[in-house]
Structure 1
Amino acid sequence: MSAPRLRLSERLSYGFGDLGFSLPYNMASGFLLYYYVNVVKLPASSVGTIFLIARLLDAVIDVLVGIGVDKTRSRWGRTRPYFLFMALPYAAMFVLVFSVPAWSQHAQLVYAFLTFKGLGILMSLGAIPYTALMPMMTEDTGERLRLSGLRSVGTSVSVVLGTAATMPLVGVFGGGDERRGFLAVAVLFGGMSLVAIIALFRNCRERYRDEAAARFRVLPAIGEMVRNRAWLVCFGFCLVYFIRFGAMMSVTTYFAIEVLHKPWMISVMLPAVAGMLLLSSFVAPPILARTGLRRGCVGVLSLAMVLFLALPLTETNPALFLAVYFAACLSTSITITAAFTMIAETVDYHEWRFGTRKEGLLSAGVSLATKVGMAIGTAGIAFMLGAVGYAPDAPSEAAREAIRWSYYGGTVVLLGLQVLVALFWPMDGQHARIRGEIATREPVAA
């Protein structure tokens, strides 16, 4: 029997659900380091410590949320009640993050940690069920690729708004006062996030669920998760991707100002990530359907490495620099659609190996990879700025060189690591056989 096709409204609501979760997160990723260090005037090293500790605490929180999803039984399903009850607190906490009061520096650091950690907890309560929802909506790989493509659209719109639009809107709303401007933009984006998450709750449905009992032993379930090869590859793939993404989102502002000496390029380079995500959402599904996830990812990541190696040679020519940069961003963006599909297929692999789906727990593990990756990338840039004695009003030449080679060298190394991880993906060419064996319920040797 063929899988039922999803309604257009359901696909769109699913895709733009990522806008709801990612818009606050992307604005924070792109500008929270700048806001804390340059606007509030907090020490860069202390800010890096806040980012790192807050995200490492997610190791426990994300697993608990994932287990909660697998244990949830409600009239709305297993994932949708989370969207309903976290939407408003998430938007409100985002506004608080960009509302650091004029207290002592120590009190400001405590406030920054508590609000940033609160945002992360609420993000977990929504993003983990959101990721767990896709394999519940459809078992068809083609539909999953289409949903992943639309999710990439939602991601790209959130990055465009969270990067390109942020600083111009800060200028418009702030009238020269960046504190007031950032707060106003946070209110606007928080409202948009709230609308998108409520639409996700209203329009998306769960069709395939784990029929296992709500009560299960947690430690054995975690043990099965870490023996799931597809999940391990997906975890590593997302971890390395988001270390690179977090670092680039944080360092690009400094790179454009201090290395290229062209601040106007901030509003071109950061949105280019989103623009290429939008383009890749259309080109990635047919490419990946033809090549498979493993070969497709290895190919585009290898191309991106070559392009980033060529970028230093183009610094004196802005048009050529941006052309090479756009091509590199398009190559890496294709892997986001692949990653979303990988996450769904880890559920099929898990059911084949262990007889249960555990969508929530598996999604929690991958969510942890994305947040820890972002934390490591962002904190790494903050620590680098602190180590070289970066001073916003008088940056040294050594600081500029550290920024330059963090941007180029770090990116190439991380792209290479992602290629190595992708080579171990086990599902290409196996998905139909695995689904068939699950359907017949024949015992499969581990």
Structure 2
Amino acid sequence: MRSVSEGAAQGRRLSFLERFSYGSGDLGYSLAYNVAGAFLLFYYTDVVRLPAEAVGTIFLVARLLDAVIDPLVGIAVDKTRTRWGRTRPYFLFTAVPYALIFIAVFHVPDAAQGVQLAYAFITFKLLGILMSVGSIPYTALMPMMTLDTKERLKLGGARSVGTSVSVILGTAATMPLVAWLGAGDTQRGFTYTTLAFAAISMIAVFLLFRNCRERFEDDASPSFRVLPAVGQMVRNRAWLVCFGFCLLYFVRFGAMLGLTIFFAKDVIGKPWLIPVMLPMVSGGLLIAAFIAPPILSRTGLRAGCVGSIAISLALFAGMAMIDGAPDWQIAGIGVPPLLLPYFLFSVATSVTITAIFTMAAESVDYHQSKHGVRYEGLLSSGISVSTKVGMAIGSAAAAYVLAFAAYDPANVTDASRADIRMAYYAVPAALLVLQAVVILFWPMDRNRLQSPAARTAWNDPGEGEMQ
């Protein structure tokens, strides 16, 4: 079913350069998407002045189309056989066009509103397509690099570092760079800022291509029947749990990313909190990237995720209780008390993203134990769909909240503020509860046997339920 190199079969440890380069891949592909997720709603509504309802529809329709595109990319990956391997060619050939489209997304022309809406949809959709063509092979690469769960957790941690750096860089630096480079011209500021980020993205993706290798080669024929393969995928319990858990995570992430700007400047009344709160999400990811692997190795994916979600809910409730409290005075600087539970909440919820990366790889092994084939590309495309559909629903929900609240950037009413605040707390809390329910169905034991031979011996889905 697959050939395994001798070093890999013995559980060869991955080098620091491999782990670093693997993490850089997430930086390369996530930087543009995270900047878009955090600021595109603001850019469209406050800079270009497009209606919020239309923007929400653009986000929703464009990303829902990924439900069709992503499986096609996954199938293409499973059929790909080149001298560079099955996944690496996609990194090489997407790096430049992905960067160029990212710049175009934040450069809407001065034209009639209908033209601007069409341009916004086309460029945003192209960004999503190129993201799929790069990120699906990227996710498929992890189970090809190692079979060892501990090594995969390290790769998942490296990927979380890449994610967190991309969000910290994108959210903390974007608006200061826009103000500095634009010198009063917000559009020019966004253009120059995206040029700088596009260069970083290209370099990071080229590092991924240069230093990461596929060590596990599936001997199955690249030709296979698609519908039976999809049928096997939806009968893979591990994959279904990973899909649902990931979907809910990114619905919450997308909604909070879009609404945090308006929560900070309109509900709390402190616009300076925007470049503080958004990077805190990434700061949480960065810390979780280091603490999640040992925690999840000890507790198992199921117990670790449920515990982190329970802590997250308690911290989020605490934040809601004190978001109107007077500032703490620290060294003569007023610090809103809500920042402490918000940051700790970001750390706790970020533990689950490392779990998602690992579950995606583990579900490939589970698939092989049940069906005798791996289909890394197809299975990874399904997880990519959950990511993008989740972000689509979350981003659209943020836009629809603004529309429901009758948000007018020139005149924000108290009623609008109350609606935004209610949505900011209620929606994420409900989604976290649903995530906890979904992860309870994860089928694998925390004490997984690590040898390749042992992995292929798993045939009873009821065996080894996680404690």
* Pairwise TM-score range, normalised by the shorter structure: over 0.9
Out of 327, 330, 334, the position equivalent to 2:351 is 334
Q: Deviations over 1:125-183 (max 9, x none)?
A: 00000000000000001100111111111111000011011000000100111111111
Equivalences, count:
445
1:303 pairs with 2:311? yes
Going from structure 1 to structure 2, the CA distance change for 1:149 and 1:433 (only over 3 Å counts) comes to: closer
- CA shift at 1:388, angstroms? 2.2
Going from structure 1 to structure 2, the CA distance change for 1:430 and 1:348 (only over 3 Å counts) comes to: farther
* Structure 2: segments with no counterpart, 5+ residues: 1-8, 327-334, 463-467
1:62 pairs with 2:56? no
Out of 12, 15, 22, the position equivalent to 1:4 is 12
2-structure distance, mates of 1:247, 1:414: 11
- CA shift at 1:209, angstroms? 2.3
Out of 373, 377, 380, the position equivalent to 1:356 is 373
Out of 401, 407, 432, the position equivalent to 2:418 is 401
2-structure distance, mates of 1:190, 1:160: 15
SS in 2 for 1:209: strand
Q: Deviations over 1:11-37 (max 9, x none)?
A: 110011100000000000000000000
Going from structure 1 to structure 2, the CA distance change for 1:413 and 1:443 (only over 3 Å counts) comes to: closer
* Structure 1: segments with no counterpart, 5+ residues: none
Amino acid at match of 1:333: S
SS in 2 for 1:320: coil
Greater percentage in helix: 1
Going from structure 1 to structure 2, the CA distance change for 1:437 and 1:166 (only over 3 Å counts) comes to: same
- CA shift at 1:306, angstroms? 1.1
Whether the 8 Å CA contact 1:352–1:444 is kept in 2: the answer is no
Partner of 1:130: 138
2-structure distance, mates of 1:422, 1:180: 45
Q: Deviations over 1:228-250 (max 9, x none)?
A: 00000000000000000000000
Identity of counterpart residues, as a percentage?
Answer: 59
Out of 37, 40, 59, the position equivalent to 2:45 is 37
Going from structure 1 to structure 2, the CA distance change for 1:445 and 1:402 (only over 3 Å counts) comes to: closer
- CA shift at 1:307, angstroms? 1.1
Partner of 1:423: 440
Amino acid at match of 1:244: R
1:146 pairs with 2:163? no
2-structure distance, mates of 1:263, 1:77: 48
TM-score by length of 1: 0.97
TM-score by length of 2: 0.93
- CA shift at 1:433, angstroms? 7.8
Amino acid at match of 1:412: A
Going from structure 1 to structure 2, the CA distance change for 1:176 and 1:433 (only over 3 Å counts) comes to: closer
Amino acid at match of 2:169: L
1-structure distance, mates of 2:150, 2:447: 15
Partner of 1:227: 235
Amino acid at match of 2:94: M
Partner of 1:179: 187
SS in 2 for 1:103: coil
Partner of 2:126: 118
SS in 1 for 2:216: coil
Q: What's the Cα RMSD here? A: 1.4
Going from structure 1 to structure 2, the CA distance change for 1:327 and 1:73 (only over 3 Å counts) comes to: same
Whether the 8 Å CA contact 1:149–1:281 is kept in 2: the answer is yes
Out of 384, 399, 412, the position equivalent to 1:367 is 384
Whether the 8 Å CA contact 1:36–1:42 is kept in 2: the answer is yes
Going from structure 1 to structure 2, the CA distance change for 1:335 and 1:443 (only over 3 Å counts) comes to: closer
Partner of 1:240: 248
Amino acid at match of 2:357: F
1:345 pairs with 2:362? yes
Any runs of at least 4 consecutive aligned residues in structure 1 with deviations exceeding 6 A, and if so which?
A: 442-446
2-structure distance, mates of 1:210, 1:428: 25
1:215 pairs with 2:223? yes
2-structure distance, mates of 1:7, 1:434: 19
Partner of 1:104: 112
The correspondence of residues 258-269 of structure 1 with structure 2, limited to 5 A, is: 258-269=266-277
- CA shift at 1:443, angstroms? 7.1
- CA shift at 1:349, angstroms? 0.3
Whether the 8 Å CA contact 2:405–2:416 is kept in 1: the answer is yes
1:378 pairs with 2:410? no
The correspondence of residues 287-302 of structure 1 with structure 2, limited to 5 A, is: 287-302=295-310
Partner of 2:103: 95
